[in-house]
Chain A
């Protein structure tokens, strides 16, 4: 079946550090890929998405590239801020089946 594996957290970084959160997927076809963010006390919000191979999704300084050859969709940001502290979920969607990773908690310290 379809599934998503993302790096375990928690991840703690200093402000302005570089962020990578790894995400790989298994799917029976060609899914759409998403990153969602969950701030404390809130539901999930879409951060970015990519719908086909080699697409790059970007938003708020975050980027992720859909790599079919490595079945990956790693999240990156060049310089994190304290306000980026949240839980990040990688997800795939294929034929109305949406699967989420376990989530990675990011804490950014000033």
Chain B
């Protein structure tokens, strides 16, 4: 089974801090994604990556950046955390096999910015 592991389940940070959320997958997937999940809004795509050192902006990239130095690891960075970034963050990966493949998700990181 594919395993997507997010480093923290719960995280509390202060406004203005630089925050790192880590995600690792163990199935050699090339495509990885970061979403945020908010009530009533579903999942919104922040950034995605199709290969090492490659990144593409999703629908809501403002205030975020990402790093993909190794194939298995995709990091989300909040450059200067703000209270409106309090949310659930979900990482996902997928094997490049066309659009009929499902994404595999981590358990999420619930981030609170105080």
Task: Identify the A interface with B (CB < 8 A).
Answer: 31-32, 34, 36, 41-46, 49, 51, 89, 93-96, 98, 100-103
Q: B100 touching A93 by the CB < 8 A rule?
A: yes
The smallest C-beta distance from A6 to any residue of chain B, in angstroms, reads 9
Contacts of A32 in B (CB 8 A): 99-100
Complex interface: stretch among B14-22, B37-45, B69-77 = B37-45
Contacts of B4 in A (CB 8 A): 43
Q: B42 touching A41 by the CB < 8 A rule?
A: no
Q: Which of A44, A95, A101 contacts B99 (CB 8 A)?
A: A95
Q: Which of B41, B45, B105 contacts A45 (CB 8 A)?
A: B105
Task: Identify the B interface with A (CB < 8 A).
Answer: 4, 9, 31, 33, 40-43, 45, 90, 92, 99-108
The smallest C-beta distance from B105 to any residue of chain A, in angstroms, reads 4
Q: A89 touching B108 by the CB < 8 A rule?
A: no
Compute how far the CA of A68 lies from the CA of B101 in the bound complex, rounded to whole angstroms. Answer: 19
Known: A41-B107, A43-B105, A44-B105. A94 touches B42 (CB 8 A): no
Contacts of A36 in B (CB 8 A): 102, 105
27 example contacts (A-B, Cβ-Cβ < 8 A) are as follows A31-B99, A32-B100, A34-B102, A36-B102, A41-B9, A41-B107, A43-B90, A43-B107, A43-B108, A44-B43, A44-B105, A45-B105, A46-B102, A46-B104, A49-B102, A93-B99, A93-B101, A94-B99, A95-B99, A98-B45, A98-B99, A98-B103, A100-B42, A100-B43, A101-B42, A102-B40, A102-B41
